[in-house]
Amino acid sequence: MSETAIRPASLWDFANPTRFLAIAGPLIPILGAITAALFAAGLWMSFNAPEDYQQGHTVLIMFIHVPAAWLAMFCYSVMAVSAIGSLVWRHPLADVSIRAALPIGAAFTLLALVTGSLWGKPMWGPWWVWDARLTSVLVLFIVYLGLMALIRAIEDPVIAARSLAIVTLVGSINIPIIKFSVDWWNTLHQPASVSRFERPAMDAAFLYPLLVMALAYTLLFLTLHLMNMRNEIYRRRIRTLRMQAARQAEGA
Amino acid sequence: MRALFLREIRLAGRIGGGALTGLLFFLAVITLVPFAVGPDLKLLARIGPAMLWTGALLSTLLGLDRLFQGEREDGSLDLLLLGEYPVALLVFVKALAHWVATGLPLVLATPVFGLMMNMEPAAIGAVMATLLVGTPAITFIGAMGAAVTVTLARGGLLIAILILPLVIPVLVFGVSAAYGAVEDPAPFWPPFMFLCAITLFFSVLGPLAAGFMLRHAAD
Amino acid sequence: MKLVVENLGVERGERRIIEGLAFEVSSGEALVITGPNGSGKSTMLKALAGYLRPSAGTITLLGGNGEKSVPEQCHYLAHSNALKLQLSVRENLEFWQHYLGMGEPVEAALEAVGLPGIGDIPAGYLSAGQKRRVAIARLIAAFRPVWLVDEPTAALDASSECRFAAIVERHLSNGGIVLAATHQPLGLEAARVLEMRALTAGLIK
């Protein structure tokens, strides 16, 4: 612990939870402000986008649903990378990162599912269809819920963190396989049906609002993730303090 | 390792509960189907392969907590980890023995349940073949779930929830191949090959993940 | 053969349980580890057996089998007996002989713990004390040079304790190493004692 040589900043500089808190403290409000601004811009652009000839105004849901689905996947990728950081490099904040990202990802997935269901209802009728995309998102949701159940069930935080990392990593390895099998299953049972989630032709009028919303969602995720990581660190500190108090009360 | 395999088989035989309970659960699921959809034989024959697969999958998933629970409770797991073999190999042998004791009986019972669902012999054969290849995949990747929940007293349902998304491909390709063998335009070999590939892949991934978890989960 | 521990640090959760521990035990030597509850006796044995990864320090076995890791040359006996109740005593012990390494014949091991002829009885029929003695017999039946034992004679009577001391002496005279964490005197001649104290300020950020 005596390296005083100057070296370029690396991820390990943030390995210290205290330093992380010091950086995150001022950063979070800034990110929050940018997020709010982006959402305002994105929503304004969405409402001003032209009507799609086929779907009418319901296409607006696309601007909420599609970025939500993207973020659901992105969040899982963040968790998977954190899992590698936890298992391979034992980065101390990696476990905090996974735990913090988990409920956020689940929330985005739920949002994607609900808006996905709402999207087609006015035009086609059923509240839910088992098409490839929605089903894949549903499976992702089950993955998230399973992970949340897992960390609630295990008491020992070290084992819980390791379990979470491994299951996340194995899940991420399997996601291409699962996606492929869902697509296979879908073509098997619904050949040549028009997916009602066909996006309108991507001309600039639709593309820009979509990208702005996606950026807004991403920054929302970053803000929430940092906030949650901060909360998680505080939670761990409370736990440690309580344990210390218990041992001192015992009069060891 | 041979000694470990034989011990596992012997234990499964002596306790008796593990192997038989899974089989009975399979029977229970199949019995519930006509109550749920009606006893129309044509309908049962049509959904037979799918229901057999679902029953076998659920039965395998729910029996997975037996994989490491007993060893951990009586302290055998600690000693097993002192062996000179890689932990992944230890998990592989245990999972294989577990499958022979609980999964193989399901496969062998398929003809009986297939007849109950009024299935054609070709369909029954196809389901048997796909279950034979597919249930080990569930057991191997399920070993990871069992290892992750080894510290919990009632890990069974949690294992099923965690492993369910991972075995969806197994179910999809297994059922697809089973139907492909009897329905003309549907292909058999592509999904069957995918199923074999998944089983081989899980037979490596599952033990590796489970081994890693067991190695570092002692408390 | 020498077991060398240098600057060992072990954390559990976010607490540091062991810090800066160092000692050596040579062939034919026994080390008795004493200390109050929570001082880290069991934790240290677990770290030696490879169940816990040390956060600092090294554990080496000099003069042992260079191709095997330290845990692969250890026996471990803690609070559980690791007996399968549905198998007979002999089947239990023979399995571990195959798995861990062959030691003395099963009958000789059972005699050494005072349970001759019990081999064919299913382990579930034994009393708690008898099960413990079979677990001790495993130390003899399956050979490993280093013994890590945690409260080996906890539920046993005085005559069993004497037997255990004799077993340990025999292992030591064969060149083995024994580390025993215990509250009770084991009656070992010339065993060194390592006293552990609890860390009061063992918190990590």
| Residue in chain C lying closest to B212 (CA) | C51
User: pLDDT per residue over B170-201, tens digit each?
Assistant: 999 999 999 988 887 778 889 999 999 999 99
- The ipTM value here is 0.88
User: pLDDT per residue over A223-240, tens digit each?
Assistant: 999 999 999 888 888 888
Contact C47, C8 (CB under 8 A): yes
| Residue B102 Cα, gap to closest chain C Cα (Å) | 18
- In whole angstroms, what is the distance from residue B143 CA to residue B86 CA? 15
For residue A150, which residues of chain B lie inside 8 Å, CB to CB? 148-149, 158, 162
Give helix then strand counts, H and E, for chain A. Answer: 6, 0
Tokens standing for residue B156: 């069974």
Q: Do B75 and C81 touch (CB under 8 A)?
A: yes
- In whole angstroms, what is the distance from residue A95 CA to residue A90 CA? 9
Q: Do A158 and C12 touch (CB under 8 A)?
A: yes
| Residue in chain C lying closest to B12 (CA) | C86
- In whole angstroms, what is the distance from residue A154 CA to residue B150 CA? 10
Q: Do C51 and B81 touch (CB under 8 A)?
A: yes
For residue A182, which residues of chain B lie inside 8 Å, CB to CB? 168, 172
Q: Do C68 and B84 touch (CB under 8 A)?
A: yes
Predicted confidence band of residue A190 (pLDDT cuts 50, 70, 90): low
Contact A108, A63 (CB under 8 A): no
Q: Do C198 and A252 touch (CB under 8 A)?
A: yes
Contact C59, C8 (CB under 8 A): yes
Tens-digit pLDDT profile for chain C (205 aa)?
888 888 888 887 667 788 888 888 888 888 888 887 777 888 888 888 888 888 888 888 888 777 788 888 999 998 888 898 888 899 889 999 988 888 889 888 988 888 888 888 888 899 988 999 999 999 999 989 999 999 888 888 888 888 888 888 888 888 889 998 887 776 666 677 777 766 654 433 3
For residue C83, which residues of chain B lie inside 8 Å, CB to CB? 74
Query: What residues contact residue A64 under an 8 Å CB cut-off, 6+ apart?
Result: A111, A115, A213
- In whole angstroms, what is the distance from residue C14 CA to residue C204 CA? 6
User: 3-class DSSP state for residue C189?
Assistant: coil
Strand order in the sheet with C177-181: C74-77, C146-150, C177-181, C30-34, C192-195
Contact A163, B158 (CB under 8 A): no
C151 touches chain B (CB under 8 A): no
Tokens standing for residue C74: 């250890």
- In whole angstroms, what is the distance from residue B117 CA to residue B104 CA? 20
- In whole angstroms, what is the distance from residue A12 CA to residue A34 CA? 27
- Which of A142, A147, A154 lies at the smallest CB-CB distance from B151? A154
| Residue in chain C lying closest to A248 (CA) | C200
- Which of A142, A149, A162 lies at the smallest CB-CB distance from B165? A142
User: pLDDT per residue over A14-72, tens digit each?
Assistant: 567 788 888 888 888 888 888 888 888 888 777 776 665 555 666 778 888 889 999 99
Q: Which of B117, B130, B91, B98 is nearest to B26 (CA)?
A: B117
Q: Which of A101, A113, A219 is nearest to A165 (CA)?
A: A101
Q: Which chains touch A (3 or more CB pairs under 8 A)?
A: B, C
Q: Which of B145, B147, B134 is nearest to B201 (CA)?
A: B134
For residue B82, which residues of chain C lie inside 8 Å, CB to CB? 49-50, 71-72, 74-76, 100, 144
Long-range contacts of A215-218 (CB under 8 A, 24+ apart): A215/A38, A215/A42, A216/A35, A216/A38, A216/A39, A216/A41, A216/A42, A216/A67, A217/A67, A217/A68, A217/A70, A217/A71, A217/A108, A218/A71, A218/A74
Tokens standing for residue A51: 């009507």
Region of residue B85 (left: phi > 0; alpha: psi -120 to 50; beta: else)? beta
Q: Do B219 and A159 touch (CB under 8 A)?
A: yes
- In whole angstroms, what is the distance from residue B208 CA to residue C183 CA? 39
1-20 of C, contacting A, C-beta below 8 A? 12-15
